[in-house]
Every structure is written in structure tokens, then in C-alpha cells.
């Protein structure tokens, strides 16, 4: 495959769209709407659905994918997208939230376990490999007085300040793949 599948994890429920757990899906949408993905002055790109599994948009340098399934079922959508586009695990980059990193930080990693992330667990289970790239976007409060469990905040609405921080991160991520 000559293009990378850039897959942003999240939940399809509109009530959960602007929560911390959806930061991967928000990243992919932001890239399609704001980045120079199809040439200077081009309008925002429109996603096309593939069955009830995922939606996608092609760019010059990659295919942006958002699963249309809940986080715990992400592996099914990723496997479907790989099949449709003839991709292998080495051709995909998964963008997802990471409750071990503070807001404002992101890391690109290759392989590794799920660290308890249910979406990543599902992908590993469906692909039978951990050998894919990931971009982990931090969602934990920076100066958290006591460490909350991820379940206590991942479905909370994103604050206005954090939204601005995430948009800066999304722009940097777009630069990694779409320049």
C-alpha cells in the first residue's frame, strides 16, 4: 500500500463526541477540516461511510478513517478498513487518547501493549499483532491533586482551554503525515 491509514478512535454517540475519550476521532476530523490535505485553497474534505463500520476521506498522503463503532469494537472497524484499502498493520497509525499522559503532550510509538485502553485491546485482538504505529494524545489534568481513575474523567466534556490545546496538537499531527 502506498498510503498510510490514519485512524482516529472514538465513540459514534453524538452525546460523547466532545469528550476526552473521543480525542482520536476529533483529531482525524480536525485534520480533514483544517489541514492543507488536498492542496492550497481546497475546501474541507467530506467523509464517506463504508457500511456501518467506518467513514473515510482520501488525501494526497493518507486516508483518514473514523470508526463508526464504539471504542470497545474498534478492532472490527480497523480490520475492515485495512481489508478495503489493502493495508497491513505496518500501514496504519492509530490516534487515541491516553490517560497516562497530561493534556498538551503526545507521543508517537511503534508497537507495544494497550496499557488497558479498550480500543487498542480490540485492535490487537482483531489484528493478532501489536506491530502498528500509534499516536497517544494526553488527556490527564496536568496538576491533578490526586490521580483519578481514567473511567472517572474520559467521558467528561472537553474544556474550552483543553480544546485549544488539542487543536494545536492536531495541527502538529497533521504535519507529521500530510506534508
**34 is written with which cell numbers?**
483544517
Highest mean pLDDT among 36-40, 94-98, 112-116: 94-98
Task: Please state, for a pLDDT cut of 70, what percent of the chain lies above it.
Answer: 87
Distance CA 30, CA 175 (A): 13
Contact assessment for residue 120 and residue 179, using Cβ atoms and an 8 Å cutoff:
no
Can you list the positions of beta strands (E) in the chain?
4-8, 48-50, 54-58, 62-67, 92-102, 106-110, 133-140
The residues that bridge with 5 in the sheet, in sequence order, are: 63, 92
> Is residue 21 among the annotated active site residues?
yes
pLDDT of residue 44: 60
Query: Domain tally for the chain?
Result: 1
Residue 124's domain is classified under what CATH number?
3.40.50.1470
| Domain span at 146 | 4-177
More confident: 141 or 24? 24
pTM greater than the 0.85 cutoff = yes
Farthest CA pair distance, the chain: 47
Report, in angstroms and rounded to the nearest whole number, the Rg of the chain calculated over CA atoms.
15
Given a cut of 80, whether residue 153 has pLDDT beyond it is no
Catalytic residue of the set 21, 34, 126, 128: 21
Helix (H) or strand (E) holding 87: none
- pLDDT class of 134 with cuts at 50, 70, 90: very high
Per-residue pLDDT tens over the stretch 78-95: 999 999 999 999 999 999
* Closest residue by Cα to residue 5 from 178, 150, 172, 128: 178
Residue 149 has pLDDT above 70, yes or no: no
Amino acid at each position: 500500500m502506498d498510503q498510510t491509514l490514519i485512524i482516529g478512535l472514538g465513540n459514534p454517540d453524538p452525546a460523547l463526541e466532545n469528550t476526552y475519550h473521543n480525542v482520536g476521532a476529533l483529531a482525524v476530523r480536525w485534520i480533514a477540516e483544517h489541514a492543507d490535505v488536498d492542496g492550497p485553497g481546497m475546501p474541507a474534505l467530506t467523509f464517506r461511510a463504508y457500511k456501518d463500520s467506518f467513514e473515510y476521506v482520501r488525501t494526497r498522503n493518507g486516508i483518514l478513517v473514523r470508526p463508526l463503532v464504539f471504542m470497545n469494537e474498534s478492532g472490527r472497524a480497523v480490520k475492515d478498513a485495512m481489508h478495503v484499502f489493502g493495508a497491513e498493520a505496518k500501514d496504519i497509525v492509530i490516534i487515541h487518547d491516553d490517560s497516562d499522559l497530561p493534556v498538551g503532550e503526545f507521543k508517537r510509538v511503534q508497537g507495544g501493549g494497550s496499557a488497558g485502553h479498550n480500543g487498542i485491546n480490540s485492535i490487537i485482538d482483531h489484528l493478532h499483532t501489536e506491530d502498528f504505529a500509534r499516536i497517544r494524545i494526553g488527556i490527564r489534568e496536568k496538576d491533578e491533586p490526586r490521580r483519578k481513575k481514567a473511567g472517572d474523567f474520559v467521558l467528561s466534556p472537553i474544556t474550552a482551554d483543553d480544546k485549544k490545546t488539542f487543536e494545536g496538537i492536531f495541527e502538529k499531527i497533521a504535519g507529521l503525515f500530510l506534508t
